[in-house]
Amino acid sequence: MNCALGFRGVGKVFETRTGSLRALQGIDFALRRGEFLSVLGPSGCGKSSLLALATGLEFPTEGTVEVAGRRVDRPVTDVGIVFQTDVLLDWRTVLGNVMLQIEMRGLDAARYDGRARELLRTVGLAGFEQRRPYELSGGMRQRVSICRALVHDPDILLMDEPFGALDAITREQLVMELHRIWNETRKSVMFVTHDIGEAIFLADRVLVMTPRPGRIEEIVEVDLPRPRTVKTRESARFLALVAHVRTLFVQAGILQVSR
Amino acid sequence: MNAAHEPAGDAMHGAAADAVPARDARGRIARRAVFSRASPLVVIAVILIVWELAVRLFGVPAYLLPPPSAIARRMATDYELLAVNTWITLGEVLAGFALAIVVSIPLAAILAQFRVVENAVYPTLVASQTIPKVAIAPLLVVWFGFGLTPKILIAFLICFFPIVVDTMTGFRCVPREVIWLARSMGASQWKTFMKIRIPAALPNIFAGLKVASTLAVVGAVVGEFIGADRGLGYQLIVANGLMDVQLSFAVLVTLSLLGIALYAAVDLLERVTLPWHVSHRVAAGSPPTQAAS
């Protein structure tokens, strides 16, 4: 039971009007407990499908998906999910949005109130508890949605390109914050992204995917020391890993060396 | 904690930068607000003045088109008559409107939630709307007599469809991700409905209610046209019968005031209920803080 999430021989075929479309093929991997796993690939490689399978929003055509040793056959609830859009409810305050997680689960709100406030404080949103989402910037909104995903203290955190809609600098800020939070909590994280640097910076391992059909090209071990800092991105090892992943995409014909 | 001060710092910086021109800007915004409040009144005043002058200059006889001043005087003298009838019509309007709300919103919820029901029921619902309400009105009188019931029913029939359509749109507009999120929280359909779908649909529900509020007045008056011995619609028929154009206009003005008041009440309720909604943010005087960060 050392694995939080396991995919065994998973394939996914979508039936469309024009015929069947294979989204995933032969997906085999395990998210270890306390591991940060990045899933990296271009659009259309099925990485978001992986996430939908992991949460039990969809089910595989072949193979099995297991969460905490149990086969996924209905929506998984012991997770926190962060989407590309922040999905905040406009009519709730910042604190109310975080507490939605608690209310929807029917947990005792009074018990989690302090934890919600504390989480907001650690992402620099102290004093914003009673604001409404529209008063916040994109980066702040996504911070709130991360707090919402963590407030019930789930074992697994699933993130679907959470920083994809943010500008480059805010993005880097949030990557640093996520790394810090992960370092402190050591959740099992599956982090889907299309950004090579982001994937490597955050992860223990990077699952590199290629499209048509979506499959795992290679699982890259990231042996960078922790905690990682802004300087990490400039280290020789980091750059070597980026170069290696890039080579994988070149070999798969996704990137071209020159025209 | 390093990054902790960044967003707060950002916001503080933004506030400080705004502080200097803020007083100027506030004055400008206040002036603009006063102007935007006053401008519809100015338009109405201009129309009334032109009307008044035109009637006087061209010597239009009062039995064809009375000037606004004469209508106002008539409203003052017949104050009691108008008040009594307004009260009756208002009762019919409110009852029909309330009935429409009570029926439409749950119906829309069921249609939006269960596609099978929608497929089965919605076409019939749309088809039923092609029947003009004015055409059904005499039938309703046959069935329910000359009392309040047919008026309330016509007001209900005329204003329930817009509420259904808008409310359905509202229930449908919840993004896929929000529903996924709710499912990952293990929330029941009922809880998702109460905590997410209903509040998300409120802006659309209010849009439907606004349209319906004006239609409800039309419905009640149509009912009174067909068969009634009281109410503003009845009074209008009587005035027309007597060729008392002044009274007709007095009733018309009263009717439109009634419609405006009902609309304003719904609008006010919306502002109180949905201070977070896009349409009320600027009016509430909060600065747009959608910064880049």
The string of pLDDT tens digits covering residues A160-189 is 999 988 888 888 889 999 999 999 889 999
Instruction: Among A85, A127, A134, select the one facing B281 at the smallest CB separation.
Output: A134
Rounded Cα gap, residues B141 and B93, in angstroms: 17
Which residue does chain B place closest to A82, by CA atoms? B181
Average pLDDT, chain B: 84
Residue B33's pLDDT is 78
Query: At A1, is the pLDDT very low, low, confident or very high (cuts 50, 70, 90)?
Result: low
Q: Is B184 on the interface with A (CB under 8 A)?
A: yes
Residue B151's pLDDT is 92
Residue range B143-165: average pLDDT? 91
Most confident by average pLDDT, A19-28, A248-257, B249-258: B249-258
List, in order, residues 6 or more apart from A208 with CB less than 8 Å away.
A40, A41, A216, A217, A218, A219, A220, A245, A248, A249
H/E segment holding residue B237: helix B232-241
Question: Which DSSP symbol is given to A214?
Answer: B
Query: At B133, is the pLDDT very low, low, confident or very high (cuts 50, 70, 90)?
Result: confident
Instruction: Among B185, B276, B292, select the one facing A91 at the smallest CB separation.
Output: B276
Q: Is A105 on the interface with B (CB under 8 A)?
A: yes
Residue B115's pLDDT is 87
Query: At B283, is the pLDDT very low, low, confident or very high (cuts 50, 70, 90)?
Result: very low
The CA–CA distances, whole Å, from B35 to A7, A18, A144, B43 equal 64, 58, 39, 12
DSSP string over A138-183: HHHHHHHHHHHHHTT--SEEEEESTTTTS-HHHHHHHHHHHHHHHH
3-state secondary structure of A49: helix
CB B247 within 8 A of CB B78: yes
Q: Is A89 on the interface with B (CB under 8 A)?
A: yes
Which residue does chain A place closest to B198, by CA atoms? A91
- Which tens digits make up the pLDDT trace of B59-92? 888 888 999 999 999 999 999 999 999 999 999 9
Mutate to test the interface with B, among A49, A79, A87, A144 (most CBs of B within 10 A): A87
Residues of B in contact with A127 (CB under 8 A): 8
CB A210 within 8 A of CB A217: yes
CB A250 within 8 A of CB A257: yes
Question: What is the rounded end-to-end Cα distance, in angstroms, of chain B?
Answer: 18
The CB density around residue A62, as the number of other CB atoms within 10 Å, is 14
- Which tens digits make up the pLDDT trace of A67-97? 888 888 888 888 999 998 999 999 999 999 9
Bridge-based pairing of strands A19-32 and A156-160 is: unpaired
Residue B245's pLDDT is 92
CB B154 within 8 A of CB B137: yes
Question: Which DSSP symbol is given to A230?
Answer: G
- Which tens digits make up the pLDDT trace of B187-241? 888 899 999 999 999 999 999 999 999 999 999 999 998 888 889 999 999 999 9
Q: Is the pTM of this model over 0.80?
A: no
Residues 231-250 of B with CB under 8 A from A: none
Query: How many CB pairs (< 8 A) connect A and B?
Result: 104
Residue A255's pLDDT is 83
Give the residues across from A219 on adjacent strands. Answer: A207
Q: Is B182 on the interface with A (CB under 8 A)?
A: yes
The identity of residue A254, as a single letter, is: I
Question: Would you say residue B2 has pLDDT above 50?
Answer: no
Residues of A in contact with B180 (CB under 8 A): 55, 57, 81, 83
Instruction: Please name which of A199, A216, A89 lies closest in space to residue A144, comparing C-alpha atoms.
Output: A89
Question: Would you say residue A256 has pLDDT above 90?
Answer: no
A236-241 long-range CB contacts below 8 Å, 24 or more apart? A238/A200, A238/A201, A241/A200, A241/A206
Q: Is A177 exposed, middle or buried (0-12, 13-18, 19+ CB in 10 A)?
A: buried
The verdict on a CB contact (< 8 Å) between B199 and A126 is: no
Taking the CA atoms of residue B138, residue B143, residue B147 and residue B149 in that order, the dihedral angle to the nearest 10 degrees is -100
- Which tens digits make up the pLDDT trace of B16-54? 444 455 667 777 777 777 777 788 889 999 999 999 999
Residue range A211-218: average pLDDT? 86
Q: At what angle do helices B245-273 and B68-77 cross, to 10 degrees?
A: 80
The verdict on a CB contact (< 8 Å) between A81 and B184 is: yes
3-state secondary structure of B106: helix
The verdict on a CB contact (< 8 Å) between A105 and B290 is: no
Residue B137's pLDDT is 86
The verdict on a CB contact (< 8 Å) between B184 and A55 is: yes
Instruction: Among B178, B185, B276, select the one facing A101 at the smallest CB separation.
Output: B185
